Amino acid sequence: MKIAIGNDHAAVELKREIMEYVTELGHEAENYGTDTKESCHYPKYGEHVARAVAEGRADCGILICGTGVGISIAANKVKGIRAAVCSDATTARLVKEHNNANILAFGARIVGSELAKDMVKAYLTADFLGGRHEERIAMISEIEEAEGLK
């Protein structure tokens, strides 16, 4: 699986660890984030990862900023993106199983590297359950269409 990984200045170190971990799990990690701790704007990196996922250049994405919130908000502005901020492995699994989230987001100032790895593994090994959840995902898509998101 090809995974687009993006981050801002708050998450440079954690991004490196996560990219290495994703590779250890047998996936391809593609860097869409900054590699410097110089202050930068997270919306740019959220958008880059979201567009890679929405356009099919990546199978899914991982976004990391200070809290995971800002970068995920930016990603969710791209049509077809369902970025979910998580701070535990159970939620990371459930956002894939129930919400078919195509981007996992978390905060470098919120979770440590071992918990982040646990979340990444839970997310990447989970599958969308479909069934009753499909109708809900369709409803989310209808909201996007009604808003004219592109």
Looking at the chain, the whole-number percentage of residues with pLDDT higher than 90 is: 92
pLDDT digits (tens, 9 = 90+) for 50-91: 999 999 999 999 999 999 999 999 999 999 999 999 999 999
What value does the mean pLDDT take over residues 17-39? 97
Q: Among 6, 16, 31, 14, which Cα is nearest to 109's? A: 14
Q: Residue 128: its pLDDT value, please?
A: 96
Count of C-beta atoms within a 10 Å radius of residue 145: 10
Asked if pLDDT for residue 148 goes beyond 80, the answer is: no
Asked if pLDDT for residue 12 goes beyond 70, the answer is: yes
What value does the mean pLDDT take over residues 129-150? 86
pLDDT digits (tens, 9 = 90+) for 83-114: 999 999 999 999 999 999 999 999 999 999 99
> One of 27, 65, 86, 133 is an active-site residue; which one?
65
Sheet of strand 103-107: strand arrangement: 28-31, 2-7, 60-65, 103-107, 83-85
Q: SS3 of 17, please?
A: helix
Q: What are phi and psi of 33, to 5 degrees?
A: -105, -175
Please give the model's pTM, rounded to 2 decimal places.
0.95
Q: Residue 149: its pLDDT value, please?
A: 52
Q: SS3 of 91, please?
A: helix
**Residue 65 is among the residues annotated as catalytic for this protein:** yes
**Residue 98 is among the residues annotated as catalytic for this protein:** yes
Asked if pLDDT for residue 150 goes beyond 70, the answer is: no
> One of 27, 40, 98, 133 is an active-site residue; which one?
98
